[in-house]
Amino acid sequence: MQHEKSMEFLQIAMKYVPEAKEEMEKAGIELSPEMLQPFMTLFTKVMAEAYELGKTDAGSDS
């Protein structure tokens, strides 16, 4: 289950990569795939934690 969610989170992140790349280039930062990997890993961790928090919150509303 966790792996499935991680894949979903990565798909969401990839949807926004072009926008992020454009914004970084405007700021004078060139974004390469090598530079992107640590951020994708971090994003996946953040999304997993947010997902678990949402599940916990949803369970406590009952």
Token output for 26: 């405007």
**Residue 2: per-residue pLDDT:** 74
Domain ranges of the chain: 2-60
Nearest to 2 by CA among 38, 35, 42, 47: 47
CB 31 within 8 A of CB 21: yes
Q: Model pTM?
A: 0.67
Q: Mind listing the pLDDT tens digit for each residue in 15-60?
A: 998 998 899 999 999 888 898 889 888 988 999 999 999 988 888 8
Q: What is the pLDDT of residue 10?
A: 86
**Closest residue by Cα to residue 20 from 31, 11, 9:** 31
- Asked whether residue 1 carries a pLDDT value surpassing 70, the answer given is no
Q: Quick one: pLDDT band at residue 62, thresholds 50, 70, 90?
A: low
